[in-house]
Amino acid sequence: MVRTVFATALLATFLVLAPFAGAQKGTVERVKVHSKFLEGNLEGDLPDRDVTIYLPPGYKSAVHQRYPVVYMLHGFTDNDEKWMGLAKHWINLPAVIDKALASGEARETIVVMPNAFTRYFGSMYSNSVTIGDWEDFIAQELVQYIDAHYRTISDAASRGLAGHSMGGYGAMRIGMKHPEIFSSIYLLSPCCLAATERQTTAEMMQQAAAVKDPSEVEKAGFMAKAMLASGAAWSPNPKNPPLYLDLPLNDGEWQPAVAAKWAANAPLVTVDQHITDLKRLKGFAFDAGDKDQPIASNIRILDETLKANSVTHAFEIYEGDHLNHIADRIETKVLPFFSKTLSFAVEHK
């Protein structure tokens, strides 16, 4: 009986894995892309950025085929090396893509991830004199580089933008401003949608304020790092060395002017200004785990705002936290979403 059950289980496992065993895999390339938008940033981060590109299985053999591109933005403290399978991490994006292709869930696309890890552990994909103009680097220089060096379908209809956590924030920030560059966006557990509140961030701000020199950032806690990165992105101050940023809490006193700058970078505050652009998108989706607070609550507010403005979108809160289902969501939701919303046809102009 035991042998029969074991044999049955083994056969079932084989039948599940068999379709993937002989499946072709994509290839990964890592290049450096120079950015004029990042030159001279006060953090001292190099303007030559690592970028990892996933090329689908058919790319090398179908030499006349052109492909849509999905730009994927990683989260805070992460980088492209970790996400793209070049270092051990909680996710291996190329393996996830290969699995989605082998199962028929997705169509072949090029997937691009820039390294947005900075001196303060994350760029927030924003523009400032302290961090450099990351938003412009992504939307302009990176897209131009990829279109010039790879067989892309160089049209907004064939370009998607997605991201997780800080990357989800970046995808929202950039995507709602640039429908002429990206036609579809997907936000995975996007952080930082709401304006910063004093009562919920005071302790984190105090920890961040205790950091007096960039050399001390490494030892700071996660949330202190996040506050510093946010300050560098949203309230830069070239007259406040050596960190070159201001925080909404200074010497125990709340700074309304600085807090207003942070609020001006919160998508839930600014989304009303981009309704027309959001309506131009071919696809817009976002999700989060129910235990991932306050992100889950904030995307509910985003959903309600979009509904009130008749912006077509897809929205889901699933059972999970900030990390535990991301790989599965990319495989079964994100990649199929782009396979439906992006154009795979080359237009002859």
pLDDT tens column, 134-168: 999 999 999 999 999 999 999 999 999 999 999 99
Residue 8 is predicted with a pLDDT of 39
Taken in order of first residue, the domains within the chain and their CATH numbers are 25-194+266-341 (3.40.50.1820), 199-262 (no CATH)
Residue 252 is predicted with a pLDDT of 84
Count of alpha carbons within 13 Å of 59, Cβ hemisphere only? Answer: 22
Report how far residue 210's alpha carbon sits from residue 160's, in angstroms, rounded to the nearest whole number: 40
Distances (CA, A) of 97 to 70, 74, 346: 11, 15, 23
Quote the percentage of the chain above a pLDDT of 70.
92
Residue 16 pLDDT > 60: no
**Amino acid at residue number 262:** W
**Count of other CB atoms within 10 angstroms of residue 115:** 21
**Amino acid at residue number 25:** K
**Segment 42-78, tens digit of pLDDT:** 999 999 999 999 999 999 999 999 999 999 999 999 9
Confidence of residue 349 (pLDDT cuts 50, 70, 90): low
Contacts of 89 (CB under 8 A, 6+ apart): 78, 82, 83
Residue 348 is predicted with a pLDDT of 57
- Classify residue 137 by its DSSP letter: I
Q: Are 151 and 66 in contact (CB under 8 A)?
A: yes
Q: Where are the alpha helices (DSSP H) in 176-325?
A: 198-209, 222-234, 256-263, 267-270, 275-279, 295-308
Contacts of 214 (CB under 8 A, 6+ apart): 43, 44, 119, 120, 242, 243
Of 107, 173, 162, the closest CA to residue 287 belongs to 162
Residue 11 pLDDT > 60: no
Report how far residue 336's alpha carbon sits from residue 100's, in angstroms, rounded to the nearest whole number: 8
Residue 22 is predicted with a pLDDT of 57
Residue 7 is predicted with a pLDDT of 38
Q: Are 50 and 74 in contact (CB under 8 A)?
A: no
Can you give the pTM of this predicted structure?
0.92
Contacts of 200 (CB under 8 A, 6+ apart): none
Report how far residue 171's alpha carbon sits from residue 296's, in angstroms, rounded to the nearest whole number: 17
- Which of 107-121, 193-207, 239-253, 283-297 is predicted with the least confidence, judged by mean pLDDT? 193-207
Beta bridge partners, 250, equal 253
Q: What would the two tokens of residue 36 be?
A: 């004029």
**Structural element, H or E, at residue 73:** strand 69-73
Q: Are 161 and 284 in contact (CB under 8 A)?
A: no
Q: What would the two tokens of residue 242 be?
A: 């050596």
Residue 334 pLDDT > 90: yes
